Amino acid sequence: MNAMRKKWLMKKFRIFFGNIKQSDKIAFIYDTDGDGTCSAALMEYALRKKRGKGADLFLYPERGRKSITKELQERIIKEKIGILFIFDIPVDNNREGLPSLKKLLKRRKVIKICEFDHHNMDNDLSRKYLFIKSILFERKYNDYCTTKLVHDFLSYFMDMGEKEWVTATGIISDCSKIFASFIRRANRKYGAKKLISFSHFINTVYLKDERHTIKAIRLMASDKPFTTVSDMFRKYFSRNYNDVINESKKLQKKIEELDFSGEIIFADSTAKYRTKAIVLEKTSEKYPHKTLLFYRRDKDGIHVSVRRKDGKVNTPELLKKSTEGMRGATAGGHIVASGCYFPARYLKIFINNIRKYHDLYKIS
């Protein structure tokens, strides 16, 4: 681990955060999964402590497109945002988002940007804005989830003990394995079963309606204790949770009927809600040596999620190669879990490319 670079970035962030004023108009762009939502909640809490109010605008790439889309870029400019925080979205390795990011960077005298992320890095943008990626200082960067990253950088100059349960939830949600001592301490303080149950809620909030994540962020950032917030989540999101779980069971039954004899498994996981993540995770635990590609269709295109639990295929690079040349495509993620999006007209080409390039991205 490059401890010197981490400390240097922490000092830069302390200055960045210290310069925030009450009059600044602040926006968050975040991934709506558990890690992205918890990361945003921690920063929302810190902003409330500093200036008496949190972010002015909550934005997210819709329908799983993990980039700063043209629509988001235009909204940021229209709303006259002065400070932009980005959480758990690898904008530097996303072909769709880079043009929009570059347009924002041209306005960096007006818009100050700070990004927290733990994905792979294709472009080092640290000279352009406050670029805080775990890969810059941590060997096991994929496991250094964005929630813990935000927690550690805020803890450098302020007490975040009150929100350890939010950090623990983000770590559990992202299946990170390098913070066992932190989780043990949180389990003793809040209860292991309660934290796991809460993380299940966090991981299903966005699957039915991503707008629910804004309420989730605000609840987690409030001064209310964990038990109260947990009870409120059950009140607000129980129906959402039950609907998602019931839909995922239907999809699971459909997936179990597939032939798993080959090494590459394609499955159309289109369902009423975005339940493919839940089903894919369960299926990948059962078949860790298979490359599983579950895709979902919607009006905009095809959303693919990939798992290869044994780590023997570089899945994000495979997806990038297989979507190369596809207009509007995005791809990225971690070695064992990644995703991509592309217009529906490319589906057959994509499937052929996966079969063509799969063995090139095997890791010995």
Q: How confident is the model at residue 117 (pLDDT cuts 50, 70, 90)?
A: very high
pTM to 2 decimal places: 0.85
Query: Tokens standing for 242?
Result: 């039950």
Q: Which of 308, 302, 358 is nearest to 65 (CA)?
A: 302
Q: Which of 272, 262, 281 is nearest to 339 (CA)?
A: 281
Q: How confident is the model at residue 101 (pLDDT cuts 50, 70, 90)?
A: confident
Give the pLDDT mean for 164-168: 98
Query: Tokens standing for 143?
Result: 């496991």
Give the pLDDT mean for 206-213: 84
Query: Which residue stretches of the chain are H helix?
Result: 3-18, 34-51, 70-78, 98-105, 146-155, 164-173, 180-190, 192-208, 212-221, 226-255, 276-286, 315-322, 347-357
Sheet with 291-297, edge to edge strand ranges: 264-268, 291-297, 302-307, 337-342, 330-333
Query: Tokens standing for 364?
Result: 């010995």
pLDDT for residue 96 is more than 70? no
Q: If residue 204 lies in a helix (H) or strand (E), which one and from where to where?
A: helix 192-208
Three-state SS string over 111-148 comes to: CEEEEEECCCCCCCCCCCCEEEEHHHCCCCCCCCCHHH
- Cα distances from 204 to residues 140, 274, 358, in angstroms, run 26, 9, 31
**Per-residue model confidence (pLDDT) at position 120:** 83
**Per-residue model confidence (pLDDT) at position 65:** 66
Mean pLDDT of the chain: 91
- Looking only at the bridges linking them, the beta strands covering 337-342 and 330-333 are antiparallel
**Interatomic CA distance for residues 223 and 258, integer angstroms:** 48
Give the pLDDT mean for 169-192: 93
187-200 pLDDT per residue, tens: 999 999 999 989 98
Of 95-104, 161-170, 228-237, give the range with the top mean pLDDT. 161-170
User: Which DSSP state fits 174?
Assistant: T
Give the pLDDT mean for 90-114: 81
Q: How many CB atoms lie within 10 A of CB 2?
A: 12
Domains of the chain: 3-238 (3.90.1640.30), 259-361 (3.10.310.40)
pLDDT for residue 98 is more than 80? no
Three-class secondary structure of residue 188 per DSSP: helix
**Interatomic CA distance for residues 210 and 63, integer angstroms:** 8
Query: Tokens standing for 182?
Result: 């932190």
52-88 pLDDT per residue, tens: 999 999 999 876 567 788 888 989 999 999 999 999 9
Sign of CA pseudo-dihedral 333, 337, 338, 339: negative
